[in-house]
Structure 1
Amino acid sequence: MGKPARGLGFWMTLALVVGNMIGSGIYLLPATLAPLGMNQLAGWGVTLAGALCLAGAFARLGARMPLAGGPYAYAQAAFGPATGFITAWSYWTMIWAGNGSIAVAVVSNLSLIFPWIGQTPGLPALLAVGCVWLLTLVNISSTRAVGDLSIVTTTLKLVPLVALIGLALWWFATGAPRAAQPPVPISPGAIASAAGLTFWGFLGLESATVPADKVENADRVVPRATLIGVALTGLVYMGISLAFAAYMPAPEAAASPAPVADLLRKAFGGGVAEVVALFAAISAFGTLNGFILLQGEVPWAMARGGVFPRWFAKESSRGTPVRSHVVSSVLLTIVALLNYGKGMGDLFQFIASVSLAAGMLSYFLSMAAAIRLLPGERPMIAIAAVGAAFIVWAAWGLGAEALGYGALFVVAGVPVYWAVSRGGASSTAPNGRG
């Protein structure tokens, strides 16, 4: 089969990185962070510094080794197939299980605009599953279609966030009165709590490295998109946080079910909540699109590397991993439906949180791989070491229970690796194509 043309240029890749990090969560996060007072700004600062270290290491690895699979490819190159499998398995499970909450977020925001959605039995579940499979078909059709959709949704999702930051700058320039904030002591524990919450806003920073074989001039585009994407996302997050700290009392923000809409309403009046909910739904839809791309690419790369059943390596005539997408989306559909099953909501949340705990291992092993694969580059080795330490700290913040169950998630993949190894699956380069 001839190699299909690569479809992702710089702007598409940048949109993928930014779009995967900025989901609908930022529309609710100000309420969650409000009780922490100024500790949230310190938390954002620590998280941004850690995210930039991770991004720096991924960018350098992407420049040196523009291989499909991202974290998996680097871990396999550094430590061999067993470690590569563990890295990919933890990363893949984090993606498809976490995507369940993103699919639910799309429908939840639409329900704020159209209340009849939530009032119609079975319809929210049907719409969530519909979003999953619509975007799966987009991903199967072509990588370029994914990139085009990423540009559109990422541009739209930034509109209300940039508007809010611009509004805060206008208030500052015109001398608008600041909000009186209750005193909250600055403490290491509160900063750690804030950082634990804000770190999830940067999940997906490695997105450009996963489909690197489908990126034009990947050795240049992947690192640029990764670093610029993280920096741009960090500026947006810090801008939102500063706006709330300056112009919305913390108790009011904490009690608000839609803090971004409530702050914008002060300037633009009623009707803003529905508009913001629409943008939040678009934001979640765009993030789901990007992560469905990743959830299909990872098992494909694993299969091509010989650590996953070769059945997953099958591609369409357009070079998309059809089987990987279908299986991943079936798993995603099951997780999404758990949210709507009677008495299953707690299980849905449990799977999502545990998968995130498991996924932290893939970030840590990626940093360890950077240290191994970049000998002699002392500044980059130091950056990767800081990134690894940050991951350990962030994982510690999840708690022993989540980490314990996350470890079980990882162990559950061992029989798969054993079966593939015993079957004598042939190994090819992680970015090989046939």
Structure 2
Amino acid sequence: MGEGKRPFGFWTAAALVVGGMIGSGIFVLPAQLAPFGWTGVAAWVCAIAAAALLATVLAALARAMPEEPGAVAICARALGPLPGVLVGWAYWVGVWCANAVIALTAIRYLGVFWPAMTATALSSALWAVALIWLLTALNLQGARAAGNFQLVTTALKLLPLIAVVAILAGLALSGGRQFGTEAHAPFAADQLTPAITLAFFALVGFEGASVAAERVRDPARNVVRATLAGLALTALLYLIICSGIIFAMPVAAVAEAQAPIALFVAHYGGAAAGYAVAGFAAVAAIGCLNGWVLLQGEVPLGMSKAGLLPRWVAVTNKRDVPVGVLLAASTLASLLVLSNATRSTGGLLDFMLRLTTAATLWLYVGGCLAAIRLDVARPVAVLGLGFALWVLWGSGLEAVLLSIGLMLTAVPLYFLALRRGSAEQPA
């Protein structure tokens, strides 16, 4: 493939990794991890180490098989078409599950301005569903409209994080006495697994360069470097921001916060700064949701074009949008939000975080199994597989079983595509 068809160099590939990782997770995880105390810090370290192992495996696969278009295709080649379909379908499930989380995160930050939106778990869920469908309507107008909206919101996602880092740096330079004003829960080994599951959600997306390997120049070199560099930068930023907020604020206040980053900035920078950060965080989450809504149509579309799913999945409108699968994914994301609306808002978010992590982990499990089968970075792949299964177990039985059930819905679609493909072969 010539350079024109591989437009991404190292910096663009690294931006894919960083952009894919910085989404909604960091805007809600301080509240979810606050009760864990020092166990939360250990969870970040373990989750980052696990992500580094898995990133190394995916990058090694891209280096060994640069002719393949991405991680899902490599899994299909190494493990067979049906396992490849299951891995790709599980990734699609993870996409629309993530959309449910991202929509709820945006509503939590919008609730800073309009408290009625988050007055109850049900009202939060209803507004999140409305936001999902608003951005679905935007994406039905075509990739150009969605892309223009994405350009406006992408840079804004960094501003709240920069504000938090600046405040934390100021606190540290002034002596850091704010970090020791309250006792935090000590490390507890029995709490490490659930804490890792939550922390790992924020790291999902490091596979961006590996998934788009066919667009990267010299993938054997650039995918590896971009993946590890992007992961290291973003993971360090997350560790500092999340742990810094938790240790510089009262635990109860952070744990109960609808918008923990806005709460932190308002506490140290004033109400006006808190409102500004909440606004930027809401816009960033909405922009992230827009990009993932686009992706929830593209993943099954690509699988259909490859003959792994029925041809009707690839039917598009005049704007080249796969309307059917896009509407199906938004419907499923909406049902996920509404089906758990009887939980508390924190419980609703916790469950969706665990389900999203469980669904996405199957791609990493498939990648590690493919590497072991192909004898590519086998020792690292064995360790990565162990970590992935550990985090999967930490997601909880409910989330794991639901992720498996949703993944298996691809099986009849695969055999339908296979039967129709055989019927169309010449006798």
In structure 1, what is the equivalent of residue 199 of structure 2? 198
AA in 1 matched with 2:392? A
In structure 2, what is the equivalent of residue 330 of structure 1? 327
AA in 2 matched with 1:382? P
Verify: 1:395 aligned to 2:392, yes or no. Answer: yes
In the TM superposition, residue 84 of structure 1 has moved relative to its aligned partner by 0.9
RMSD of aligned Cα (Å): 3.6
Verify: 1:282 aligned to 2:286, yes or no. Answer: no
- CA shift digits 1:81-107 (9 cap, x unpaired): 111111112111221233233234334
Verify: 1:265 aligned to 2:276, yes or no. Answer: no
In structure 2, what is the equivalent of residue 29 of structure 1? 29
* CA gap 1:211/1:149 in 2 versus in 1, 3 angstroms: farther
Give matches, 1:25-424, under 5 Å: 25-66=25-66, 70-114=70-114, 125-135=129-139, 137=141, 140-141=143-144, 146=147, 153-178=153-178, 179-215=180-216, 218-313=219-314, 322-323=321-322, 326-338=323-335, 345=341, 354=355, 356-373=357-374, 375=375, 380-424=377-421
In the TM superposition, residue 220 of structure 1 has moved relative to its aligned partner by 4.5
AA in 1 matched with 2:137? W
AA in 2 matched with 1:191? L
TM-score (norm 2): 0.83
Is residue 28–residue 259 contact of structure 1 (8 Å, CA) maintained in 2?
yes
Is residue 304–residue 313 contact of structure 1 (8 Å, CA) maintained in 2?
yes
* CA gap 1:245/1:278 in 2 versus in 1, 3 angstroms: closer
| CA distance in 1 between partners of 2:79 and 2:128 (Å) | 44
Runs of 5+ consecutive residues of structure 1 not aligned to the other structure: 428-434
- CA shift digits 1:204-236 (9 cap, x unpaired): 221233344445555554333322221111011
SS of 2:50 mapped into structure 1: helix
* CA gap 1:177/1:8 in 2 versus in 1, 3 angstroms: same
Aligned length: 412
Percent identity of paired positions between Structure 1 and Structure 2: 34
| CA distance in 2 between partners of 1:117 and 1:195 (Å) | 30
In the TM superposition, residue 395 of structure 1 has moved relative to its aligned partner by 0.8
| CA distance in 2 between partners of 1:198 and 1:411 (Å) | 26
Name the stretch that deviates more: 243-252 or 84-93. 243-252
SS of 2:271 mapped into structure 1: coil
Is residue 107–residue 127 contact of structure 2 (8 Å, CA) maintained in 1?
no
Name the stretch that deviates more: 164-173 or 253-262. 253-262
Name the stretch that deviates more: 210-219 or 411-420. 210-219
In the TM superposition, residue 66 of structure 1 has moved relative to its aligned partner by 4.3
In the TM superposition, residue 301 of structure 1 has moved relative to its aligned partner by 3.0
TM-score (norm 1): 0.81
Is residue 357–residue 392 contact of structure 2 (8 Å, CA) maintained in 1?
no
Name the stretch that deviates more: 19-28 or 46-55. 19-28
- CA shift digits 1:140-185 (9 cap, x unpaired): 339xx84x86676443212221221222122212214233232523
In the TM superposition, residue 283 of structure 1 has moved relative to its aligned partner by 2.3
Is residue 12–residue 151 contact of structure 1 (8 Å, CA) maintained in 2?
no
